[in-house]
Amino acid sequence: MAEILSQSQIDELLNNLSSGDVNLQELEANDKKIKEYDFRSPKKITKETIKLLKGIYENYCRMVTSRLTSMLRLMCDVTVEQVEESIFHEYNNALDDYVLMGLVDVKYPDNTVSDSQILMEVSKPLSFVIIDRLLGGTGEEYEHDRDYTDIELFLLGNMLKQLVKHMGSNWESTLEIDTELTKIETNSRFIQSINYNDTVVIVVLNVSLNQSTGKITVCIPSSILDEILKKASNYSKSSKRSDQSREEQKAAIMSSIKSSNLTITGVLGKAQATLDDVLHMQVGDLILLDKDINKDIDIHVDGKKWFEGKWGTRKNKGVIKINKITH
């Protein structure tokens, strides 16, 4: 409960305000900021999902940094600036007339392809810096209020393919998906793969390249997010059931073979002899073995060496004491 001021405290506050000892603007600035919430269109994306996406695209930024630095031979730094939920028509209406928009298909582990598409938009200042560098320039920023030429679209398309190709691998901690660039669009009004009223998540990446900065914006429809999370949950349950099934099969196999009869043989030693020696052997002949009398003998289980041990007798029967396990 808020603290109730006494009459003396109220008088003191009014006196300070009238005398100028207290700055009203500072008091207002120190007030807790309250974010408006529209109950007519409640948020559909959970905070956990937003946090998950931020982690995924922070990893993706490191890959993009490496790729752009390698392709352009310039120092590049890419960071996640913002991850927020929006409505597609709000995002689409905020775009410029001329855009560089990559349409990305998502392929799931069961070989099905998403109905919607992920959109990747590169801001115009950044795209022209990239074009300048790819064509041998210094990579300086300059203004161009025009559409892209076919050659420029070809160069930027190859660059986008490289960035999109590795986007799916950053989802592997959640679900292994493949991402593929299917089309380049320069007019955002022609995009039909996402309904205007669909909920989307906008991931804004800040790109610092040479002395220039720009944005790469990734627009992910909620339908794709829902499908990924649903399939990830199903695959997790299926994997657990599969592991449990394998353990049960292993236990059943072990139970069935435990009663199998095996032949155990103690090998005292080995010797080599010619066929002529064997043909002339007589009762009472001695065969010199390769094993010293004080050394352990080999113990074979169904013809394979499993143990080493010492030969002896017990209760008028030959026995072998196992000294070492070798299998």
Please give the torsion angle defined by the CA atoms of residues 19, 23, 28 and 30, in that order, rounded to the nearest 10 degrees.
Answer: -130
* Separation between Cα atoms, residue 150 and residue 161, nearest integer Å: 16
Structure tokens at 104: 């990305």
Q: What is the CATH number of domain 47-235?
A: 3.40.1550.10
How would you classify the pairing of strands 212-221 and 118-122? antiparallel
Between the CA of residue 309 and those of 27, 263, 287, 301, what are the distances in Å?
88, 16, 22, 13
The rounded distance, in Å, linking the Cα atoms of 311 and 296 is 8
CA distances from 71 to 57, 130, 187, 296, 317 (A): 20, 9, 26, 66, 79
Alpha-carbon span 221 to 87, nearest angstrom: 9
Which pLDDT score is estimated for 236?
52
pLDDT tens for each residue of 154-204: 999 999 999 998 888 887 777 778 889 999 998 888 888 888 888 999 999
pLDDT(66) > 80: yes
Q: Is 20 left (phi over 0), alpha (psi -120 to 50) or beta?
A: left
CA separation for the pair 189, 185 (Å, rounded): 9
104 versus 26: the higher-pLDDT residue is 104
DSSP 66-99: HHHHHHH-S-EEEEEEEEEEEEHHHHHHTS-SS-
Residue found by looking up tokens 């990893």 in the block: 59
Tokens of 118: 């992920």
Q: Name residue 251's amino acid.
A: A
Q: What does the pLDDT read at residue 257?
A: 73
**Cα 133 to Cα 127: distance, rounded to the nearest angstrom:** 10
**In the chain, what are the domain boundaries?**
47-235, 264-325
- Cβ atoms 74, 133 nearer than 8 A: yes
- Distance separating alpha carbons of residues 280 and 282, to the nearest angstrom: 6
Q: Which two tokens stand for residue 75?
A: 């120092």
264-325 classified as CATH 2.30.330.10: yes
Please give the pLDDT value at position 241.
52
Q: Tell me which amino acid residue 327 is.
A: H
Task: Write the DSSP symbol of residue 169.
Answer: G
> Does pTM surpass 0.75?
no
**pLDDT recorded at residue 234:** 65
Q: Mapping DSSP to helix (H, G, I), strand (E, B) and coil, where does residue 261 land?
A: coil
Q: Residue 7's Cα: distance from chain center in Å?
A: 61
What distance in Å separates the CA atoms of residue 2 and residue 286, rounded to the nearest whole number? 107
Q: Is the torsion defined by CA of 125, 129, 131, 137 positive or negative?
A: positive
Residue 219's SS3 state is strand
* pLDDT confidence tier of residue 1, bands split at 50, 70 and 90: very low
Between CA 220 and CA 200 the distance in angstroms is: 5
User: Per residue in 195-237, pLDDT tens?
Assistant: 888 899 999 999 998 788 899 999 999 888 888 888 776 655 5
Q: What is the pLDDT of residues 21-51, one digit of tens each?
A: 656 566 555 555 565 655 555 567 888 889 9
85 Cβ neighbours under 8 A, 6+ residues apart: 43, 44, 45, 50, 199, 200, 201, 202
pLDDT in tens, 259-300: 778 888 888 888 888 888 889 889 988 888 888 888 888 888
